[in-house]
Amino acid sequence: MSTTSKSSASTTAEPPARRAGVIATAVAALAVVVVAILLWRGVAADPDNGSVAGPLVGVMTLVLGALALVGWRTAPRRSWRVVDIVVAAVLGVALGLVFTVWNLGWSPLSNALEFFPPVKGLFVGVWLLGGVVGGLVVRKPGAAVFVEVVAAVVSALIGNQWGFATVWYGLLQGLGAEVVLAVLLYRQWGAVAAVGAGIGAGVVVGVLDTTLYYPEFSAGLKLVYGASAVVSGIVIAGLGGWALTRALARTGALAPLASGRNAQRV
Amino acid sequence: MSTGLLDPGAIRPTVLARSNPVTKLAVATLLAVVLLLSVDVVTAGTAVLLEVLALPLVGLGMGGLLRRSAVLLVAAVPVAVLTVLVGVDSGAVLLDAGPLSISTGSLESGAAVGLRVVAIALPGVVLLATTDPTDLGDALAQVLRLSPRFVLAALAAFRVVDVLAEEWQQLGLARRARGLGGDGLLAGVRDLAGRVFVLLVIAVRRAAVLATAMEARGFGAGEGQGADRTWARPSRLRASDAVVVAGGVLLAATATAAGVLAGTWQLLLT
């Protein structure tokens, strides 16, 4: 996580910290280009409609990545205070426990859906809550990634069926949500941002799952799986996470944070 | 760290168990990426075979090993069965029942996908079982150079896992005593959502107190002003870590070579 090097760049006008911020941005930009090229080539290799979809996916990734980087660099109040970091970490741990409960509940639920497997994607939304809730509650660049990764690490350390892979899933799911919040320039924290972040995370998990677990499905079934993952991201992670954050703010628990400040009721 | 939920249990101090957590993460990631490249029985099967042969080196007892790896089947078997039933068919059709069909081709890809899931997850699951959260945190901050503020805050938050797990139990009992929740899927979901919400409220309140306490002890002071942080538990890579990584590379290379030699290895999406 390059978050601190970047946040310290904005708080202190020191040359080393600023240089670290510039380097981090350059690395991120390079990563965007590499991912865009890989996706372009990967999708273009599909014999059916790759010649159209390949460039489309590649250019979309580039544009999204560029917009997200702009959001990242221009975010207001970028530096993290101690209370932001600790609340995000504990929130991640709590959500990691929720993930663990869901890891156990997943098998019977998905077995019940055996008659039409691609619909299983409808249940992944719970694992995407970290990114949305983290982003909305802490309201700092990197919060979605940090909370989701901590939650994934807790879920993996307690012991699940996926091991270290959970950590990478967490990182990428968090990034999916983070990119959308960054494109919104870290200034939108309402239902729209929540749903957008849920979509971002849903797309990521749809792509990951179809690559890792269902590579031998037909393109149609893969699309159904991806779509149900996105729907789950919208409903459970997006709207659910938004409602959760609002309810949290109402209790006053978020008072020390940016998200609690304008939710105070007299 | 001796927390109940995160306690790894008895571990024999083998080279693999004592290697740096970052090394374990690197090996698990390397195997995952290499195995992701192709969906075929030979590569995945060879990898699983070699991994099972390497299991005694992990340092877990027989019981822990079985308990940790049994969950893998929970993930792998349904995926394999699914692929057999609804995956793309090829070769001779053995059974045809509407949308569900079994062919020699889909049987093979089902086996390949199931083996691949096991081959990717097994190293991660058993290596993680011998990883202490504190060692992981130290390694992430000192070896991978992740921001210490974030790593240490996460580590501090990990201490709350057992407290929150206990709260989770209490919440269930309390809701039960008040007559909340009930039977059926819908009531179950509503009950779950209620418990999640209260758990998060407790977590955030606790975090705010924890943050104040940490700040009072100087956590976060001098950050970004070039202040040097010293570490109570140094974490560094040793020669044995190179051996472990080499073992991982060898395993991945052998599995891929077996697949290529058998002619079944095919790059994903090509």
Q: A6 or A91: whose pLDDT is higher?
A: A91
Task: Say yes or no for a CB contact (<8 Å) between A216 and B79.
Answer: no
Q: Give me the pLDDT at residue A2, please.
A: 44
Task: Say yes or no for a CB contact (<8 Å) between B210 and A86.
Answer: yes
Q: pLDDT grade, residue A180 (50/70/90)?
A: very high
Same domain as A50, residue A18: yes
- Please, is B91 exposed, middle or buried when counting C-beta atoms within 10 Å of its C-beta (0-12, 13-18, 19+)? exposed
Q: Give me the pLDDT at residue B27, please.
A: 93
Amino acid at A76: P
Task: Say yes or no for a CB contact (<8 Å) between A159 and B126.
Answer: no
* CB neighbourhood size of A262 (10 A): 8
Residue that terminates a domain, selected from A57, A74, A91: A74
Residues 11..50 of A with a Cβ closer than 8 Å to B: which? Answer: 11-12, 14, 16-17, 42-43, 45-46
Q: Classify B6 as helix, strand or coil.
A: coil
Q: How is residue B267 annotated by DSSP?
A: B
Residue that terminates a domain, selected from A50, A74, A98: A74
Q: Is the pLDDT of residue A240 over 90?
A: yes
The complex scores an ipTM of: 0.83
**Tokens linked to B159:** 């201490």
Q: Give me the pLDDT at residue A213, please.
A: 84
CB A246 within 8 A of CB A133: no
Residues of chain B contacting residue A90, judged by C-beta atoms under 8 Å apart: 157, 160, 203-204, 206-207, 210
Q: Give me the pLDDT at residue B58, please.
A: 84
β-partners of residue A53 are none
Rounded to an integer, what distance in angstroms lies between the CA atom of residue B139 and that of residue B71? 27
Q: B134 or B223: whose pLDDT is higher?
A: B134
Q: Is the pLDDT of residue A79 over 80?
A: yes
DSSP conformation letters of B194-245: HHHHHHHHHHHHHHHHHHHHHHHTTTTTTTTTTPPP--SS-----HHHHHHH
Maximum mean pLDDT: which of A107-111, A205-209, B57-61, B107-111: A205-209
Tell me the average pLDDT of chain B. Answer: 84
Residues of chain A contacting residue B74, judged by C-beta atoms under 8 Å apart: 107, 161
Q: Is the pLDDT of residue A175 over 80?
A: yes
Q: Is the pLDDT of residue B123 over 50?
A: yes
CATH number, residue A168 = 1.10.1760
Same domain as A211, residue A121: yes
A241 inside domain: yes
Same domain as A126, residue A86: yes
User: Residue A221: which residues within 8 A CB-CB, separation 6 or more?
Assistant: A117, A118, A214, B86
Q: Is the pLDDT of residue A7 over 50?
A: no
Q: Give me the pLDDT at residue A202, please.
A: 95
Q: Give me the pLDDT at residue B91, please.
A: 66
Mutate to test the interface with B, among A79, A145, A216, A250 (most CBs of B within 10 A): A216
Q: Give chain B's radius of gyration (CA, Å).
A: 23
B251 near A CB under 8 A: no
Nearest alpha-carbon partner for A71 in A253, A209, A200: A200
Q: pLDDT grade, residue A163 (50/70/90)?
A: confident
Q: Give me the pLDDT at residue A114, please.
A: 62
Percent pLDDT > 70 in chain A is 85
Rounded to an integer, what distance in angstroms lies between the CA atom of residue B270 and that of residue B256? 16
Closest chain A C-alpha to B239 CA, distance in angstroms: 23
β-partners of residue B97 are B100
Q: Mark residue B218 as left, alpha or beta (left: phi above 0; alpha: psi -120 to 50; beta: remaining).
A: left
**Tokens linked to A146:** 């940090």
Residues 133..172 of B with a Cβ closer than 8 Å to A: which? Answer: 133, 136, 146-147, 149-150, 153-154, 156-158, 160-161, 164-165, 168
Same domain as A218, residue A138: yes
* C-alpha B264: how far from chain center: 28
Task: Say yes or no for a CB contact (<8 Å) between A212 and B120.
Answer: yes
Q: Give me the pLDDT at residue B8, please.
A: 61
Task: Say yes or no for a CB contact (<8 Å) between A97 and B168.
Answer: yes
Q: Give me the pLDDT at residue A88, please.
A: 95
Mean pLDDT over residues B235-262, rounded? 93
Domain with A17 in it = 1-74
B20 near A CB under 8 A: no
Residues of chain B contacting residue A217, judged by C-beta atoms under 8 Å apart: 83, 86-88
Q: Give me the pLDDT at residue A117, please.
A: 67
Same domain as A156, residue A24: no
Same domain as A139, residue A23: no
* CB neighbourhood size of B9 (10 A): 12
Q: Is the pLDDT of residue B269 over 80?
A: no
Same domain as A251, residue A181: yes
* Cα nearest neighbour of A162 on chain B: B121
A206 inside domain: yes
At which residue do the structure tokens 């959500």 appear? A95
Task: Say yes or no for a CB contact (<8 Å) between A159 and B68.
Answer: yes
Residue that terminates a domain, selected from A15, A46, A74: A74
Q: Give me the pLDDT at residue A266, please.
A: 43
Same domain as A173, residue A252: yes
A224 near B CB under 8 A: no
pLDDT digits (tens, 9 = 90+) for A125-150: 999 999 999 999 999 999 999 999 99
Per domain, the residue ranges of chain B are 15-132+238-262, 144-216
Residues of chain A contacting residue B158, judged by C-beta atoms under 8 Å apart: 93, 154, 157
A239 near B CB under 8 A: no
Q: Is the pLDDT of residue A45 over 80?
A: no
Q: Give me the pLDDT at residue A173, please.
A: 95
Q: Is the pLDDT of residue B4 over 70?
A: no
Q: B218 or A159: whose pLDDT is higher?
A: B218
| Counted domains in chain A | 2
Same domain as A116, residue A70: no
Least confident of A178-192, A231-245, B8-22: B8-22
Tell me the average pLDDT of chain A. Answer: 84
Q: Give me the pLDDT at residue A239, please.
A: 96
A162 inside domain: yes
Q: Is the pLDDT of residue A10 over 60?
A: no
CB A67 within 8 A of CB A180: no
Same domain as A126, residue A65: no
Q: Is the pLDDT of residue A8 over 90?
A: no
* Cα nearest neighbour of A39 on chain B: B269
A89 near B CB under 8 A: yes
* C-alpha A39: how far from chain center: 18
B60 near A CB under 8 A: no
Same domain as A192, residue A154: yes
Q: Classify B14 as helix, strand or coil.
A: coil
Closest chain B C-alpha to A40 CA, distance in angstroms: 12
Percent pLDDT > 70 in chain B is 88
Q: How far from each other are the two terminal CA atoms of chain B, in whole angstroms?
A: 47
Q: How many CB pairs under 8 A join A and B?
A: 227
Helix and strand element counts for chain B (H, E): 10, 2
Q: pLDDT grade, residue A1 (50/70/90)?
A: very low
* Cα nearest neighbour of B207 on chain A: A87
Same domain as A111, residue A56: no
A266 inside domain: no
Q: Is the pLDDT of residue A252 over 70?
A: yes
CB B130 within 8 A of CB B59: yes
Rounded to an integer, what distance in angstroms lies between the CA atom of residue A182 and that of residue B56? 46
* CB neighbourhood size of A260 (10 A): 21
Task: Say yes or no for a CB contact (<8 Å) between A212 and B224.
Answer: no
DSSP E strands, chain A: none
Q: Classify B143 as helix, strand or coil.
A: coil
Q: Is the pLDDT of residue B9 over 90?
A: no
CB A233 within 8 A of CB A128: yes
Task: Say yes or no for a CB contact (<8 Å) between A163 and B128.
Answer: yes
A168 inside domain: yes
